[in-house]
Amino acid sequence: MARYVTTDVHGCLLSLRHLVEEKLKLRPQDELYVLGDYVNKGPDSRGVLEYLMQLPERGYRVVCLRGNHDQDLLHAAQGQLTLTWGSVADRELTVHSFGVERPEDIPERYLRWINDLPYQFEIPGFILVHAGFNFRLPPAQMRQDWHTMLNTKEFVFDASRTGGRRIVHGHVPTPTTEVEHQVQQQAGAIGLDTGCVYRHNPELRHLAALDLDANKLHLQPNIEPDYPIGVR
């Protein structure tokens, strides 16, 4: 059995499928953890949700967490547009992937699935979260600070507040060489967002997956068809 973690797919369905099926060669006895941000920015938000929803139905052990972009999709479906849509092109790309013209018309099954996603997940040796924690808070309060868990861009890791568990998170696009260094050093907190969706950025444009037990990083290049996105 292997335990894998990946994150920040952002509509890059072909890259995700190639990572899971060809690079990891995921087996039913393996565990796959995905740390959020399935939608927005990339070409096929609906396809990513559909794929992740189907994996457990096909017998795979998959746990998905909530990301800030997933939360914003829920808000948009309720008529609340937020800045993380990024641009009109981003909004249209995301909404049109669902075959609708307005966020309010996104099919309910996808919204229900996102709404049921947890903010964090504990496994032996690790705490998984989309963005991170506010380590200035008492541990119990820290683990209920939903806004920070979805949105923080920096934090100072403190193992005394995690019961000695390391943290794996996403959210902040990080050059692949820096993530490789974090993995090699077995850092207390590892950020796995290698900015797959930013296909023009040579230091990013990969989907990263970490084998937690072998401490091995797998990098899948972006293989999506052309779509409009700027250089980060």
pLDDT of residue 90: 85
The string of pLDDT tens digits covering residues 179-220 is: 999 999 999 999 999 999 999 999 999 999 999 999 999 999
What fold does the segment set 3-221 form as a domain? Purple Acid Phosphatase; chain A, domain 2 (3.60.21)
pLDDT value of residue 229: 79
- In Å, what is the CA distance from 56 to each residue of 26, 28, 76, 231? 12, 9, 27, 34
Parts of the chain with a pLDDT under 70: 81-86, 230
Residue 3 DSSP class: E
Beta bridge partners of 31: 3, 61
Q: Residue 170: exposed, middle, or buried by beta-carbon count in 10 A (0-12, 13-18, 19+)?
A: buried
Residue boundaries of the structural domains of the chain: 3-221
Residue 230 has what pLDDT?
67
**Residue corresponding to tokens 């800045």:** 83
- pLDDT for 218 equals 98
Task: Report pLDDT digits (tens) over 164-175.
Answer: 999 999 999 999
pLDDT, position 82:
65
What pLDDT does 123 receive? 98
